[in-house]
Amino acid sequence: MPELPEVEAVRRILDRAMRGSRITRVELRRANLRRPFPAGFVNRLTGQVIEDVTRRGKYLLVRLRSGDTLLAHLGMSGSFRAASPSDEADAGSGSKARAHDHVVFELSSGTVVTFNDPRRFGVMDLVAVEGAATHDALDALGPEPLNAAFDAAVLARACAGKRVSLKVALLDQRIVAGVGNIYASEALHHARLSPRRRASTIATRAGAPRDAAVRLVTGIKAVLRKAIARKEQAYRGGRFRVYEREGQPCLRPRCPGTIRRITQAGRSTYYCPTCQR
């Protein structure tokens, strides 16, 4: 499932393609994705000018001049592409892949933006201006990990008293938004912290940050920024420190360890038992 860096890469593509354009036509090729499209979806979008495309956690937010916001989640297999009409036609009409093109936005610039989702776990919703801050998908999200306000003190307070493992805590979107299975493993290796470690151990009894919290926040920010810098490149491209490297040598200089895989909360975790404590 795409995580924050992959969603941010999509956001940048969509913002370049959509900002300032008017939506001239919307085509729904099915009645639902993970959930039904909201009532009036096509009519509320058609004719609207796109102010910008932003992101909150793993959600894309297309802000319209009307005050509405188009909220989109890629789910497990969703993707957007932006192309000219001729490129769309040349790319293989009737192909098996195009059978999963479920939503098409035609823009005044001539660009066609298409949402493709083979497994249909994606979500699209329209949020009125007064409801954006309290939408159920956004209201419970924790801090954005790349914001300056997200620091060791914030993370320590969120983890204080939690008996779950540190890896499982990082997957909780209420603690930090946008971090998923891949980058949780990567950040923990960067911080030299075991994924088995109890989350509460990065904070004092009073909830103040220990050195582990400082290292972990640094690790989260570092691995996310590095991944975002790769932009549109595939995120399963062999560029990780531990993820999907079971049985291979640890990449930390002078560490003789070997990467292991364990299962936590039904997800694979990769780590080095030698340097992660």
Q: Please indicate whether residue 65 is annotated as part of the active site.
A: no
Q: Please indicate whether residue 106 is annotated as part of the active site.
A: no
Give all strands (DSSP E) within the chain, no chain letters: 23-28, 50-56, 59-64, 69-73, 79-83, 101-107, 112-116, 123-127, 260-264, 267-271
- Among the options 11, 44, 58, 215, which is catalytic? 58
Residue where the block lists tokens 């909780």 = 172
Q: Phi and psi of 70, rounded to 5°?
A: -85, 115
How many of the other CB atoms lie within 10 Å of CB of 213? 26
- Among the options 120, 210, 226, 267, which is catalytic? 267
- Among the options 3, 6, 8, 186, which is catalytic? 3
- Among the options 2, 5, 143, 145, which is catalytic? 2
Q: Please indicate whether residue 231 is annotated as part of the active site.
A: no
- Token reading at 153: 């003190």
Q: Please indicate whether residue 143 is annotated as part of the active site.
A: no
Q: Using CA of residue 73, residue 235, residue 1, residue 197, what is the dihedral sign?
A: negative
Q: How far apart are CA 186 and CA 260, in angstroms?
A: 13
Positions marked catalytic: 2-3, 58, 267
